[in-house]
Amino acid sequence: MAALRAAKQALRKEIKRRVAALSDQEKLRQSHVVSQKLFKHPKYAGCERIAVFLSMHDEVRTEEIIRDVFKQGKTCFIPKYQTNSSHMDMLKLTSLQDMEMLPLTSWNIRQPADDDNTREEALATGGLDLILMPGLGFDRSGKRLGRGKGFYDTYLERCIRHPRGKPYTIALAFKEQLCPEIPVDDNDVLIDEILYEDQE
């Protein structure tokens, strides 16, 4: 376990360095390419209930995707992370204005406030069709390197127990986040597909 943890830490550092070297313009350009790939994806076209992460500075930008989700009349859910545990909920977002009103966390991402109890949680109602996954690194076989907190792995375990079953998972990545091989353990849930620029 210690060796795996060390390998993951070293890889996180390396990927962060690669992504930090990208200009904002390049990040936006790749984000746009990845968003367009997603819009043409049959799983996106066919989904009704979708969970989208609100991007941090080192992740594929998701604003364009969230705009499209509302334009297409899909139901949008966003993560609410609990900072002191690995627990995460996917809470319903009602509009773009709703998103702009959300408070900023210490990670500089917007999420519903702790005392915001009015929002529907995806698994409490109809489950999810599709989850767009963030991550630090990915390999082509669907292995994902997260930030080490286990939010998404824990949430996917809950999805698997939901009557609707596990949603399809698509990771959004800069090509600099692709690695030959990500070290994983048994708790790491594989991703169905990774979208990035230049893939065949």
149 annotated ligand binder = yes
Per the DSSP assignment, residues forming a β-bridge with 100 are none
146 annotated ligand binder = yes
Residues 174/19, Cβ–Cβ less than 8 Å: yes
Per the DSSP assignment, residues forming a β-bridge with 13 are none
175 annotated ligand binder = no
195 annotated ligand binder = no
* Spatial distance between the Cα atoms of 17 and 158, rounded to a whole number of angstroms: 33
150 annotated ligand binder = yes
Residue 1, SS3 per DSSP: coil
11 annotated ligand binder = yes
152 annotated ligand binder = yes
147 annotated ligand binder = yes
12 annotated ligand binder = yes
Q: Give the relative orientation of helices 63-71 and 24-39 as an angle to the nearest 10 degrees.
A: 30
144 annotated ligand binder = yes
What single DSSP character describes residue 121? B
Helices (H) and strands (E) in the chain, counts: 6, 8
9 annotated ligand binder = yes
199 annotated ligand binder = no
151 annotated ligand binder = yes
145 annotated ligand binder = yes
* Spatial distance between the Cα atoms of 69 and 102, rounded to a whole number of angstroms: 18
Q: List the binding residues.
A: 8-12, 54, 59, 144-152
Q: List the binding residues for ATP.
A: 8-12, 144-152
Q: List the binding residues for substrate.
A: 54, 59
